[in-house]
């Protein structure tokens, strides 16, 4: 197994460790969750860097890498919703968009079609990672300060102004928008996939 694929598998292994640490109530577990997530996020960047630098891009990596990414990101967002940091409907929009695009990418790979990652998609991933790191930091701040009598006023303002909600809403809206753009730019793949699915269930001569 190539080094990039090993890093991808490591990211998948780190995901349940991150989840276990984050659902704990003790402060040191919150720090551990943040640390594990940062390491996992760094493997995402580094495996791509190594693959490009050493021309170690493989078919296995093309399947595993987005799967590992979606597993890590989706787990984080679902945990935030479960712990009432963000609403579930935002999570479902983010996850369903990412899963649908990933499935379309896999279909393109299996049929030998080109499916390039757009600049918008890269910015979407950056926005998701930023909000996840902010929410992880907020969980630490909340655990450490908001239960005490000496909590800084600015922390209460974050709650009063619902900054967490608005920031996550922006990421959700941007994620949805990039998904719509992605589907439009790859509408040929989408049409081909729809025809393929139709032929599976309803045999026809449609081209």
The residues, ordered by sequence, that sit 6+ positions from 33 with a Cβ below 8 Å of its Cβ are 18, 21, 22, 24, 136, 139
Q: Are 167 and 134 in contact (CB under 8 A)?
A: yes
The predicted structure's pLDDT at residue 33: 96
Say which CATH class 3-201 falls into.
Answer: mainly alpha
The predicted structure's pLDDT at residue 67: 85
The predicted structure's pLDDT at residue 21: 96
Q: Tokens 């630490």 identify what position?
A: 140
CA distances from 71 to 12, 13, 95, 188 (A): 7, 10, 10, 27
Q: What is the dihedral of CA 36, 39, 44, 50, to 10 degrees?
A: -150
> For the chain (length 207 residues), average pLDDT per consecutive 10?
81 95 93 95 79 65 80 95 94 92 77 68 89 93 69 73 92 93 75 66 57
The ranges assigned to domains in the chain are 3-201
Rg (CA), the chain: 20
What percentage of the chain has pLDDT greater than the value 70? 77
The predicted structure's pLDDT at residue 160: 77
The predicted structure's pLDDT at residue 114: 65
Burial grade of 81 (CB within 10 A; 0-12, 13-18, 19 or more): middle
Nearest by Cα to 8 from 58, 36, 44, 37: 44
């Amino acid at each position: 197994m190539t080094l990039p694929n090993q890093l991808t598998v490591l990211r998948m292994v780190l995901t349940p460790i991150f989840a276990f640490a984050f659902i704990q109530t003790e402060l040191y577990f919150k720090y551990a969750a943040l640390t594990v997530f940062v390491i996992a996020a760094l493997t995402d960047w580094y495996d791509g860097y190594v693959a490009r630098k050493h021309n170690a891009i493989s078919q296995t990596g093309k399947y595993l890498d987005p799967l590992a990414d979606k597993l890590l990101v989706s787990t984080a967002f679902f945990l935030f919703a479960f712990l009432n940091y963000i609403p579930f409907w935002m999570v479902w929009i983010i996850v369903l968009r990412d899963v649908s695009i990933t499935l379309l990418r896999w279909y393109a790979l299996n049929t030998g079609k080109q499916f390039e990652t757009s600049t918008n998609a890269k910015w979407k991933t950056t926005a998701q990672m930023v909000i996840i790191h902010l929410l992880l930091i907020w969980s630490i701040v909340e655990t450490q300060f908001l239960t005490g009598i000496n909590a800084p006023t600015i922390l209460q303002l974050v709650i009063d102004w619902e900054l967490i909600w608005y920031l996550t809403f922006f990421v959700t809206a941007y994620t949805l928008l990039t998904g719509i753009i992605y589907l439009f730019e790859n509408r040929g793949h989408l049409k081909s996939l729809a025809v393929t699915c139709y032929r599976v269930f309803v045999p026809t001569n449609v081209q």
